[in-house]
Structure 1
Amino acid sequence: MLRVLLPLLAASAAWAADPGFELSGRLVPRSGASVSLFGSTVPFSAYTLANVDGSFHFKKLEPGMYTLSVFIRRRGETRRTIEIGPGTANSKGRVAVTLQLKDSDFVYATSLRRHIVSARQLAIPESALRSYRDAQKDLSRYDVDSAVKHLERAVDLAPQFSAAWNNLGTIAYQGRKYDRAEECFRMAVQQDPQSYEALVNLGGVLVTLRKLDEALDYNLKAVLARPNDALANAQLGFTYFSVGQYDLAVKYLEHTRELDPANFSYPQLLLFQIYSRRGQRDQAAQMLEDFLTRHPDWPQADKMRETIAGLRAPSH
């Protein structure tokens, strides 16, 4: 993710850590599914099963951005960004979401692979798998230090454990330890070149570290592997923005908005910059308006509204 967005991410992370929120969701059409919730900007991981009516629940959530993953047998996986906070919750702290699922929302072949035990996975000793599972329990309680210790033990016991390396890289990235994140993501890719998660995450940290030639290569591979993955499209758009190829940046950032309008990469903010530079005031204002619709708790919302008013004012 781009370094220019880090102050914005820091602002969103500045909300008080109140683990009193709940997420209540429903799948339409109703279906049995495994549902996972991942912290987008802070380390967190939790898992549940949808009920027969398609409903699911997560409790004791801190405010912030989360990625919701839904896996349905024979359909595949789909992901959406969910914002948890005062602006999206009711008076009891509950955020309600209804996911209208279409076949085109799902990635099948690559996501199915994540739910099948591979030969390499079978070679990982039970002690390493246990440490990995313990780390996920730690993350569900926001206990990052303990999670890191368990993950480091997992890769010590099984250096080929790509998922554990990827998890360590994600935590390092969210803690702004970008060199360590790059190291972990490279290890994850090395140990399992077919790991999409490691591939797209490596592409993201390379953009942050301004290793743009390599970032372009990895992010192009990610988009080719999953053309409808919002994160891959966002990172490719960020890469093109960084090298000044604004037409291509707009193409992939707009596609990100179509796929996941509330995506934690905040594509509207870079699109706002591009449209502003081009003197496209109406489009620039639309991006900020769309952003505030998706992120009502944004700390700088008042300043953003002032900017919108200025863009909407008649020019002389």
Structure 2
Amino acid sequence: MVRRCAIGVDIGGTKVAAGVVTADGAVRRVVQRPTPVQQGVEAIGQQAAELAREASLRAAQEGYAPVGVGLAVAGQVDVRQQRIVGATRRFEGWERVPLKAVVERVTGLPATMDNDAKAAARAELRWGAARGARFAIVVTLGTGVGGALVVEGRVVDGARGLAGHIGHIPVQDDGPTCACGRTGCVELYAAAPGIVSVAAEAAGPAVVLHDAGDVWRAAEEGQPWAQLALGRAAESLGMALAGLVHALDPEVIVIGGGLSAWGESWRSRIERAVGARVMPAFSGRFEVRLAAYGPQAGIAGAGALVLEQVEGGDRHAPAAGGTIREP
């Protein structure tokens, strides 16, 4: 029997990945390649389409029938018009790429897209750590800081689908310039490049850092400069999330993205930073959880976009089932 599935494609700052997403939320047969940033945004779009096609062929080999391609896209996406309307400097010119049309032409499948963090939130809400939640915050930590808000069990789009860019909440009055062109964004301190930058400045030229993982390992070994960088990341993120807690009153905050692989000690550090900044009435009334999908949340969420459309309902409707522990 042929089983229905979706193809999910996650287009990020460091890699483009595609996989088969089944109806129960499993992610299978993932293929990925480094994001060809140096070749320009058109090359990124073409690579996404080719990986989607490769994943659809792998799906067929396993007896699955792909019904569409979902695209979890770095940048700002007008979900109603299904077009990219802006991005950070790493994806300069991204808005001129007709991504949906390119993918449909290469794969022969209908495509739909949304911002990558909002797609990740959809996977966590439908199958993962936010399942059953009515009010939630999802934040993704990796090359950048992404986010999404869940209200009454639905991912919030905003007027044009641009809601949820948590990484660009200002938490400092000055500082280095963010990829968005502004200063003081939480992404400057809580995303992987920001963590490396703060650590490198604190450690001095004698210490060579290749990525944020080096900082994490050094912090685990007790290096003061690494502890400082991670402390600043958690405190900056805590400041931004505490503001959202006061505005939204969520049941759960989900921490996803590549840095969620740092596990429980990272989760608890963020939880303490948020908890220290919320008013007493909010304290203990929400949980901070690690994402169920981790680095695969973008693929799973992109697949969820497709499956929700095929199911014929409101793509923003909450998934059935699941519970959230009452505080």
After TM superposition, is the score higher than 0.5? no
| TM-score for the superposition, normalised by structure 1 | 0.30
Which one has a larger percent helix, Structure 1 or Structure 2? 1
Structure showing greater relative contact order (alpha-carbon pairs closer than 8 Å, 6 or more residues apart):
2
Which one has a larger percent strand, Structure 1 or Structure 2? 2
